[in-house]
């Protein structure tokens, strides 16, 4: 079987023709940065770049890890140098970052990104990831502003995540199904490894931070109790699997079937995860693989952010499991 790089596969199968060259080049810029992040993570302990960035918190009041800063800088530099993106929203920056050079400012695309999801797990060698979303600019004739990023999730032209674990895997959709590419560390190239991924219609695993159980709405508590009950017909009790890294938990659900829950709670009445660069791209990927994603009331991809760092609840994963928990939320 022919061994295809991510670039070759997209060019031949998903983004055919000259009109897609800019988008392919942008995806290549993201891939290049991800490759460098993977290198940094693999040698983090030896290079003494584990731990917190001294005295630093991000806009969300979360402690910033040294590798958060490094990953953010690597993606910014790659995207800026590539010239295929007019600007970005990053979890690590409070405002939009506009690229004003002659090439970038004429780009048709903008990127929203979480450079290093699950970074609190880095010091204990648990998988972490990058999540990104790509939109078309409303107009290239006007200066880029924050409002240009506030688009519904169903307007995404591409979305993906990179999981840095026992291997580094780049999972991508351009609205034509979901494929994954695994990094060959010897040649530092991503090759097609998972073609046309389909999430199982149901599963026997669920992911939720059980420590927040009494903070959750009663409907979510009831669903968790239901998952824990024994029932031969439905294969319950289900197994609780929670890594604390959205990328790792959803990657498992994508391949094995399952449900990921990050509900509203007393401490986080709007939810905790960011709509624009966490919930929306993951929803696009999972829907393209045949699953579902909801905030508890509405389809995630129907939600239009009111701010670049707006938060949301999310219930995402296998079709039947999302429908089941949604029936409780709406009852």
Q: Is the pLDDT of residue 54 over 80?
A: no
d(CA 250, CA 173): 15
CATH number, domain containing residue 174: 3.30.540.10
Beta strands per DSSP E along 13-164: 52-57, 63-65, 87-90, 97-98, 109-117, 128-136, 158-164
Question: What are 174-233's pLDDT values in tens digits?
Answer: 999 999 999 999 999 999 999 999 999 999 999 999 999 999 999 999 999 999 999 998
The reply to whether 123 and 211 lie within a common domain is no
pLDDT tens for residues 121-170? Answer: 878 888 999 999 999 999 988 999 999 999 999 999 999 999 999 999 99
* Residues 263 and 316 grouped into a single domain: yes
Token output for 78: 């790659």
Structural domain count, the chain:
2
pLDDT at position 115 over 90: yes
Counting every residue written for the chain, the total comes to 331
What pLDDT does residue 47 have? 56
Structural domain boundaries enclosing 121:
6-194
> 174: Cβ–Cβ under 8 A, 6 or more apart, which residues?
10, 14, 15, 23, 157, 158
Residue 218: Cβ-neighbour burial (10 angstroms; 0-12, 13-18, 19+): exposed
**Residue 281 DSSP label:** H
Q: What is the C-alpha to C-alpha distance for residues 195 and 181, in angstroms, rounded to an integer?
A: 9
Residues 17-46 have pLDDT tens digits of 989 999 999 999 999 999 999 999 988 665
Q: Are 168 and 34 part of one and the same domain?
A: yes
* Same domain, yes or no: 40 and 142: yes
Question: Which range has the worst mean pLDDT, 46-55, 110-119, 131-140?
Answer: 46-55
Q: Is 12 helix (H, G, I), strand (E, B) or coil?
A: helix
Question: Do 160 and 50 sit in the same domain of this protein?
Answer: yes
For residue 267, the SS3 value is coil
Residues 188 and 210 in one domain: no
Q: Which residues 6+ apart lie within 8 Å of 60 measured at CB?
A: 91, 309
- Among 149, 172, 194, give the residue marking a domain's end: 194
pLDDT tens by residue, 204-218: 999 999 999 999 999
**Is the same domain home to 212 and 292?**
yes
Whether 108 shows a pLDDT value over 90: the answer reads yes
- Is residue 1 included in any domain, yes or no? no
- Residue 49's pLDDT is 57
Torsion sign (Cα): 194, 196, 201, 207: positive
- Of 65-69, 112-116, 224-228, the range with the lowest mean pLDDT is 65-69
In a domain, 318, yes or no: yes
């Amino acid at each position: 079987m022919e061994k295809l790089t991510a670039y070759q596969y997209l060019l031949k199968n998903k983004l055919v023709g000259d009109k897609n060259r800019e988008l392919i080049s942008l995806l290549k810029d993201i891939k290049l940065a991800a490759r460098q992040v993977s290198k940094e993570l693999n040698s983090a302990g030896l290079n003494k770049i584990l731990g917190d960035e001294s005295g630093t918190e991000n806009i969300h009041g979360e402690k910033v890890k040294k590798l958060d800063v490094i990953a953010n800088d690597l993606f910014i530099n790659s995207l800026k140098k590539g010239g295929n993106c007019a600007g970005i929203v990053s979890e690590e920056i409070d405002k939009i970052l506009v690229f004003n050079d002659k090439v970038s400012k004429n780009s048709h695309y903008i990127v929203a990104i979480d450079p290093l999801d699950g970074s609190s797990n880095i010091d204990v060698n648990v998988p972490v990831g990058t999540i990104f979303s790509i939109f078309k600019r409303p107009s290239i004739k006007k200066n880029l502003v924050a409002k240009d990023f506030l688009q519904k999730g169903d307007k995404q032209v591409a979305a993906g995540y990179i999981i840095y674990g026992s291997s580094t895997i780049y999972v991508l959709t351009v609205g034509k199904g979901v494929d994954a590419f695994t990094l060959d560390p010897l040649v530092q190239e991503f090759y097609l490894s998972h073609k046309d991924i389909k999430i199982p219609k149901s599963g026997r695993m669920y992911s939720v931070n059980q420590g927040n159980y009494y903070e959750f709405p009663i409907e979510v508590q009831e669903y968790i109790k239901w998952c824990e009950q024994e029932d031969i017909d439905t294969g319950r009790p289900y197994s609780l699997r929670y890594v604390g890294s959205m990328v790792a938990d959803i990657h498992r659900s994508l391949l094995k079937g399952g449900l990921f829950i990050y509900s509203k709670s007393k401490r986080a009445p709007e939810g905790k995860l960011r709509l624009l660069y966490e919930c929306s791209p993951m929803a696009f990927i999972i829907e393209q693989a045949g699953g579902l994603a909801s905030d508890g009331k509405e389809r995630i991809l129907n939600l239009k952010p009111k701010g670049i760092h707006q938060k949301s609840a999310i219930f995402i994963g296998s079709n039947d499991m999302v429908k089941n928990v949604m029936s409780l939320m709406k009852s």
